[in-house]
């Protein structure tokens, strides 16, 4: 087992899980709690992507809330938090994957700016 750094414990405990949610996702969840597209909706790529994004957002929030509760319980019990090697490996994998996705998004945004499809306001100093 490996002890989580105190700054990570502090961040985890302070993080607000119920932050703002896109009105598109909220509306979709109100309309259909399962967040699964109907056969007709599956023909609309935008709608499928919207459902996928909403399911992913709510799943991440739920998993984080459970993790936060575990961290809180262990920290209150012991004064520190230990995690196993599987947790560290999964976290490293997810961080690497996020880095790849972030790079792809930035490349795409740069392309949109270069082609004039996305206008960026100059920074105010």
For residues 30 and 52, membership in a common domain is answered with yes
Tokens linked to 25: 């996702």
6-17 pLDDT, tens per residue? 999 999 999 998
Query: Do 75 and 105 sit in the same domain of this protein?
Result: no
123 — pLDDT class (breaks 50, 70, 90): confident
**Do both 14 and 60 map to the same domain?**
yes
Residue 125: pLDDT over 80: no
Using a cut of 0.75, tell me whether the model's pTM lies above it: no
**Residue 118 pLDDT level (bands cut at 50, 70, 90):** confident
Residues 30 and 75 in one domain: yes
Alpha carbons 41 and 122: distance in angstroms, whole number = 39
Express each pLDDT in 25-72 by its tens digit. 999 999 999 999 999 999 999 999 999 999 999 999 999 999 999 999
Same domain, 68 and 24: yes
For residues 90 and 75, state if they share a domain: no
| Residue 50 shares a structural domain with residue 103 | no
Domain count along the chain: 2
Say how many C-beta atoms besides its own lie within 10 A of residue 65's C-beta.
13
DSSP per-residue codes, 101-114: HHHHHHHHHHHHHH
For residues 102 and 83, what is the distance between their CA atoms, to the nearest angstrom?
A: 27
What are 84-100's pLDDT values in tens digits?
A: 999 999 999 999 999 99
Beta-bridge partners for 82: 3
Q: Is residue 93 located within the same domain as residue 108?
A: yes
- Same domain? For 54 and 27 the reply is yes
């Amino acid at each position: 087992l490996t002890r989580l750094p105190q700054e990570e414990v502090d961040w985890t405990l302070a993080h607000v899980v119920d932050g703002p949610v896109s009105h598109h996702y909220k509306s979709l969840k109100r309309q259909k709690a399962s967040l699964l597209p109907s056969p007709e909706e599956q023909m609309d790529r935008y709608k499928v992507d919207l459902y996928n994004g909403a399911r992913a957002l709510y799943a991440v929030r739920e998993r984080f809330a459970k993790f936060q509760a575990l961290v809180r319980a262990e920290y209150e019990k012991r004064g520190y938090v230990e995690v196993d090697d599987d947790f560290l490996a999964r976290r490293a994998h997810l961080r690497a994957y996020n880095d790849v996705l972030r790079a792809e998004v930035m490349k795409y945004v740069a392309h949109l700016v270069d082609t004039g499809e996305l206008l960026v306001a100059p920074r105010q100093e």
